[in-house]
Amino acid sequence: MLQKQKSEFTKELILNESFKLFYKDGFKATSVDKIMVKTQLTKGAFYHHYKNKKELGLAVIKLKIQQRVYDAMISPLYNSGNVIEILKSTFIDRIKSFPIQEKQSGCPMNNFINELGDTEKVYQIALKNIIEEWKSALIQLIERGKKDNSINQSISNKSTAIYLISSFEGIRGIRKLYENDEIIDQFMLGLSTYINHIKA
């Protein structure tokens, strides 16, 4: 039992430290050697748990990035309450809460999309699955808003969902170019105006 726990701890350590390195330095620039230095493990320990860096990259997407997006951006969309307020709290309040390091480094998923989204199908599919799950939750929320007459009946559920995701992910990338939050403040003002515009 202790050996199994130790093995799981080692696998989790590799996963967590790899995520941090991929986020900080990028996936392509992070070698297995660099991961081993960070974890203070041997290459044998790495290859016992992951066949190669590609398999590890997929694990990071599915177990770290997908969970982050689900917890922060998808799960709140299933909360009960006013649909407009849920949209504002998920998209506007969330971006206010980011620490400076995350504002400067951007969105981990967005970084992966920009670096790997057009290189290998396996990464593309894993990343697209996250977006599709997010989009589906938003479509359901918007439909709920139409049923309770808090959302304008004439708007397209799908187009609105894609716009919200795209604008949020876009500002996360653009913010990396700036030294302060002025551009985020402008984004929040624009997004708040848009959300108010789709109210019934």
Same domain, 187 and 151: yes
Same domain, 46 and 60: no
Return the C-alpha torsion angle 59, 63, 68, 74, nearest 10: 110
Give the list of residues 6+ apart from residue 80 with CB closer than 8 angstroms, or none: none
Range of the domain at 27: 1-50
Nearest-angstrom CA–CA distance, 101 and 24: 10
Name the token pair of 68: 């982050």
Gyration radius of the chain over CA positions: 19
Which residue bears the tokens 């941090």? 20
pLDDT tens-digit map of 90-143: 999 999 899 998 999 999 999 999 999 888 899 999 999 999 999 999 999 999
Name the token pair of 80: 């009960």
Look at residue 40 in the predicted model and tell me its pLDDT: 94
CATH assignment at residue 78? 1.10.357.10
Q: What integer is the mean pLDDT of 178-184?
A: 94
Q: What integer is the mean pLDDT of 41-60?
A: 94
Q: Are 134 and 69 in contact (CB under 8 A)?
A: yes
Q: What integer is the mean pLDDT of 27-38?
A: 96
Nearest-angstrom CA–CA distance, 49 and 17: 14
- Coil, strand or helix: which one is 154? coil
Same domain, 62 and 146: yes
Q: Tell me the sheet residues that pair with 151.
A: 199
Q: What integer is the mean pLDDT of 158-181?
A: 96
pLDDT tens-digit map of 126-138: 999 999 999 999 9
Look at residue 14 in the predicted model and tell me its pLDDT: 97
Phi-psi region of 199 (alpha: psi -120 to 50; beta: other; left: phi over 0): beta
Same domain, 116 and 25: no
CATH assignment at residue 1? 1.10.10
Same domain, 77 and 172: yes
Same domain, 83 and 147: yes
Same domain, 43 and 60: no
Same domain, 134 and 152: yes
Same domain, 123 and 192: yes
- Coil, strand or helix: which one is 58? helix
Q: Are 56 and 21 in contact (CB under 8 A)?
A: no
Domain count across the chain: 2
